Amino acid sequence: MRFILRHLNSLGVINKFDSFLLHYHTNSLKSNHTLKHYLESGKPIKALLNFRHRFRESPSFIDSFSVLFAIKASSAQKASSFDGRQIHALVRKLGFNTVIQIQTSLVGFYSSAGDLDDARQVFDETPEKENVVLWTAMISAYTENENFVEAIKLFKRMEEEKIELDEVIVTAALSACADLGAVQMGERIYSRSIRRKRRLAMDLTLRNSLLNMYVKSGEIEKARKLFDETVRKDVTTYTSMIFGYALNGQARESLELFKKMKTIDDQSQDTVITPNDVTFIGVLMACSHGGLVEEGKEYFKSMIVDYNMKPREAHFGCMVDLFCRSGHLKNAHEFINQMPIKPNAVIWRTLLGACSLHGNVELGEEIQRRIFELDRDHVGDYVALSNIYASKGMWDEKSKVRDRVRKRRVPGKSWIELGSIITEFVSGHDDNDKQLIMGEISEVLRCLVSCMRSFDCVIENFNLNY
């Protein structure tokens, strides 16, 4: 580019202003290429440092592309939201807040930082909202931060405003329905979507999302029906169904489907479907829930030897859970100590829970010390250890552990789907409307108890004083 620029200058083809523009464009391209390279190489901090240096040296070379790369770098590093907020301020200063790609990236940044209020503010302040990608980013932000009700509300608004749908946005909405257990809502979203856009009915990714929703909601018969009706299946289709059987305690059905996946060809495809590492998580879960210790050990070995897969934390966690559910606490402890990676707190907690169930004080105390090295503020750990002491009648030790609890548990949440309405309940919530609903539920429960007593049913430990 520099050679061309000098050659054109020597010929008198361009004037000084044109020369400046070419020089500006060349340097911007080069700088943006550097930022992109750092991002693709997994070095977001270097990308941010490079962006900061460029801005200090020559602010004129900062364009919308370099700002976009800087936002993505802020999202990727996840260490601090300070850099991202500074870049957001710069976006406003430079007038880039009308660039839809930048606004979408800012929504993603605030989502990764867990700041849904600022993400929604960026969404609301975007002047033109016809772009489905922006809506997808905001709905995904709600879903990823477990605010599923708001995700569904925003999707409904999107439908009302006649924004063109695609498989990605419908998949995000179905994902929210899956986590809510709102099957009827998900079915309505799916049926309306394929009516508005016929080609979506043939989209395998969308069908897999619907299947996943049935699986997570425990609708195993509907899931199997959809599975059988899907002509062309991929590894995700099989994996979702394998998970469905595993989560619902149907271990044998899960493993039979896994064998079929590896050995039989569907009529519409010529090759056998190869399982991936997620498939093996489902298989190991099935073995764990079915108490199939030896089969689980064989599948774990097969994943490494036959498929050349490197186990992840989830696979190790499934194996620990397999041993713990079967009461093999010693084997679980030995397995953890022999793991090639450092066990996380979740894996240790699985064993701690088993110690609580079986009243193993000595091992429970050792596991608790290991967990404290990783995380000292998880309330459930204190509860589990206190339960171990209680099971052995060690009341003084139980009281000491309880006294060490420094904060309360996160309140539990539940959702109830009634027609087209989803109501969220939070433990200890004092919202007047929800208290009224709770009062109505309590009255129904009292009627049920009264009916049960009229049939001479024994009611034990039943408390209706909310």
In 155-179, which positions are buried (b, 16+ CB within 10 angstroms) versus exposed (e)?
A: beebeeeebebbbbbbbbbbbbbbb
Longest dimension (CA), the chain: 105
More confident residue, 384 or 279: 279
Range with lowest mean pLDDT among 221-230, 374-383, 442-451: 374-383
pLDDT digits (tens, 9 = 90+) for 157-197: 998 888 888 889 999 999 999 988 889 999 999 998 888 88
Q: Would 1-128 and 328-411 be classified into the same CATH topology?
A: yes
Asked if the model's pLDDT at residue 320 lies above 80, the reply is yes
Domain boundary assignment for the chain: 1-128, 139-230, 239-310, 328-411
According to the model, what pLDDT value does residue 9 have? 52
> Mean pLDDT of all residues in the chain?
80
DSSP label of 411? P
Contacts of 178 (CB under 8 A, 6+ apart): 186, 209, 212, 213, 215, 216, 217
Structure-block tokens of residue 224: 């199997």
Cα 15 to the center of its chain, rounded Å: 55
Q: Which residues of 408-428 are buried (b: 16+ CB within 10 A; e: fewer)?
A: eeeeeeeeebeeeebeebeee
Tell me the two tokens of residue 261: 């996946």
**Choices 1.25.40, 2.60.120, 2.40.70, 1.10.3470: CATH for 1-128:** 1.25.40
Is the model more confident about 9 or about 130?
130
CATH value of 328-411 in 1.10.10, 1.25.40, 1.10.3470, 1.10.287: 1.25.40
| Mean predicted confidence (pLDDT) in 198-216 | 90
Give how far Cα 223 sits from Cα of 157, 183, 203, 359, Å: 28, 11, 17, 39
Dihedral angle sign, alpha carbons of residues 380, 381, 386, 387: positive
Using DSSP, state whether 460 is helix, strand or coil: coil
Residues 6+ apart with CB under 8 A from 140: 111, 172
For tokens 């050792």, name the residue. 366
Dist. CA 90–CA 273, nearest whole Å: 49
Q: How far apart are CA 193 and CA 191, in angstroms?
A: 5
**Distance from C-alpha of 234 to C-alpha of 212, rounded to nearest angstrom:** 13
Average of per-residue pLDDT across 287-298: 94
How much of the chain, in percent, has pLDDT values that exceed 70? 77
pTM of the model as a whole: 0.73
* 47 and 41 Cβ atoms separated by less than 8 Å: no
